Amino acid sequence: MAPEACDLLIEAGHVVPVVPHGVVLERHAVAVRDGAIVAILPIDEARARFAPRETVSRPDGALIPGLVNTHTHNPMTLLRGVADDLPLMEWLQGHIWPIEGAVVAPDFIADGVTLAIAEMVRGGTTCCNENYFFPDVQAATYRKHGFRARVGLPVIDFPTAWARTSDEYFDRAGEVHDQWRNDPLVATSFAPHAPYTVSDANFERIRMLADQLDVPVHCHVHETAHEVAEARRTLGQSQIARLDRLGLVNDRLIAVHMTQLTDAEIALCAERGVSVAHCPESNLKLASGFCPVAKLLKAGVNLAIGTDGAASNNDLDMFGEMRTAALLAKAVGDDASALDAFAALRAATLGGAKAMGFEERIGSIEPGKQADFALVDLGA
C-alpha cells in the first residue's frame, strides 16, 4: 500500500495531547493535512504510513497544544512598568486611565498588539482573548500576523477615544462584529469592563446582543474585596448576584479574576456553566486576592488561565502563569495536589479554548482539530 500524503509530520520525544488527561506519549508523531490533525501515532508507524511534504524532528522536544491566554489587554504591552507597586484602584484610576486618555489611538493599538504577538509566540501562546479599545485595529493586526484571537467589543459607561456614548459603543461593536464574523482566525466577544463601570441598562443590551450574535461576554468580576464590599454596600447584593439578576451568569460568561467568592457563588457558576479566567500573577502584583482554584475545580467550573495586561503582570508568559497558578493553588487550598501540572496545562489550553468557544478547533492534540501547537525544546 502506498504511503498516505500529508503536509507535515512532527516527530517529538514527547507529545502531551491534553486529551486524554494525564497522558504523555513518548516518541510520537503528529501528521497534519490541510491544516488539520490527521493522526497521532508512534514515530516508526508514522514513517511507514505517511509521505509528508515536510518533516520536523525534535527528539528532545515536547509537543503541546498552543497555549491560550484567556485574558489580555495586549495594547498595554506598551505600558509595561508604568505604575508598579500600587493597589488596583489607585493603579487603574490614578495612573492607567489618565495615561490611556493621552496615548490611546489606532497606532498605539497596532504597535502594542504587534509587540504582544511577538512576545506571546516566543512563549508558545497561539491564541488570546482580548479586552481593549479599538477592536477594529486589533482584529486587523492579529489577522495580519496570522494569530488567533477573540477580540472584545468594549463597553464602559464613560467616553473614551473609541466611543463617546453608549449608543456609539454598541453601534461600533456591531460594525466590528459584522466585519469579522466569518473569519477563520479572528472572532469577537462583548467586553464590558467591569460591573462597577457598566450600568444595568448596558448589561441588558449586552445580554440580548450576545445571545443574538452567539458570542461570549468577557468581563472583570469580583476582582477585589473592595469591589465586593462596595457592591454590597451600595446595591445590597454582590456583583455576581447582580449579573445573575440581569441574565448574564451563564455559559457565555468569561468571568475574569474571581478572587472573592462564596461557596454559593461557586455552585452557581458551576450550575450555569460560567468559565473563570484565572490571572494569578496580576492578582499578586495588585494585591487583589486569591482565586479559589481548588474549590472551582471541585465544583466543576471550567478554569482558564490568563496573564492580564503586561502593565499589571509585567509579562505575557503563560508558562510562568501556569507555574504561579499551580503553586498558589497549593498554598491557598492547603493542599499540595490542588492544581497539578496536567491540570494547569489543561487550564492554559483546553480550558481557555472552551471558555472562548474554540474547543472544537483547538486546545488539545486530537484528530480533526486544527494543527495549533507549541514545540518546547527540553534541551534548552
Let me know whether 267 and 121 are in one domain.
Answer: yes
Q: Which three cell numbers stand for residue 250?
A: 451563564
Let me know whether 110 and 190 are in one domain.
Answer: yes
- Sorting pLDDT into bands at 50, 70 and 90, what band is 369? very high
Q: Is pLDDT above 80 for 380?
A: no
* Number of CB atoms found within 10 A of residue 235's CB: 15
pLDDT for the residue 350: 99
- Sorting pLDDT into bands at 50, 70 and 90, what band is 379? confident
Q: Provide the H-helix boundaries in 85-219.
A: 88-91, 97-103, 106-122, 135-144, 166-180, 200-213
pLDDT in tens, 30-76: 999 999 999 999 999 999 999 999 999 999 999 999 999 999 999 99
CB 66 within 8 A of CB 103: no
Q: What is the CATH number of the domain that holds 35?
A: 2.30.40.10
pTM metric for this prediction: 0.97
Distance CA(166)–CA(365), nearest Å, equals 42
Let me know whether 33 and 131 are in one domain.
Answer: no
Distance CA(170)–CA(168), nearest Å, equals 5
Q: Is pLDDT above 80 for 167?
A: yes
Per-residue b/e over 47-61, b at no fewer than 16 CB within 10 Å?
Answer: bebbebeeebebeeb
Let me know whether 192 and 48 are in one domain.
Answer: no
CB 196 within 8 A of CB 230: yes
Q: What is the mean pLDDT of the chain?
A: 98
SS3 27: strand
Let me know whether 78 and 30 are in one domain.
Answer: no
Look up residue 258 and give its amino acid: M
Pairing of strands 125-130, 148-155: parallel
pLDDT for the residue 320: 98
Let me know whether 77 and 216 are in one domain.
Answer: yes
Domain that holds residue 56: 4-65+365-377
Let me know whether 289 and 344 are in one domain.
Answer: yes
Pairing of strands 67-72, 125-130: parallel
- Sorting pLDDT into bands at 50, 70 and 90, what band is 305? very high
Element of type H or E holding 2: none
Pairing of strands 275-278, 302-305: parallel
Q: Provide the H-helix boundaries in 133-251.
A: 135-144, 166-180, 200-213, 225-235, 239-245
Let me know whether 204 and 105 are in one domain.
Answer: yes
Let me know whether 60 and 152 are in one domain.
Answer: no
- Sorting pLDDT into bands at 50, 70 and 90, what band is 1? confident
Distance CA(322)–CA(348), nearest Å, equals 7
pLDDT in tens, 212-230: 999 999 999 999 999 999 9
* Radius of gyration over every alpha carbon of the chain, rounded to an integer in angstroms: 21
Q: What is the CATH number of the domain that holds 306?
A: 3.20.20.140
Look up residue 76 and give its amino acid: M
Q: Is pLDDT above 90 for 135?
A: yes
Q: What share of the chain is helix, strand, coil (3-state, %, to 5)?
A: 45, 25, 30
In the 8-state DSSP scheme, what is residue 66?
P
Distance CA(18)–CA(354), nearest Å, equals 13
Let me know whether 42 and 168 are in one domain.
Answer: no
Q: List the single range of 84-98, 125-139, 204-218 with lowest mean pLDDT.
A: 84-98
pLDDT in tens, 80-117: 999 899 999 999 999 999 999 999 999 999 999 999 99
Number of domains in the chain: 2
18: Cβ contacts below 8 Å, ≥ 6 apart? 64, 65, 345, 346, 349, 350, 363, 364, 365
Let me know whether 147 and 40 are in one domain.
Answer: no
CB 83 within 8 A of CB 96: yes
Let me know whether 49 and 121 are in one domain.
Answer: no
In the 8-state DSSP scheme, what is residue 309?
-
Distance CA(207)–CA(291), nearest Å, equals 25
pLDDT for the residue 276: 99
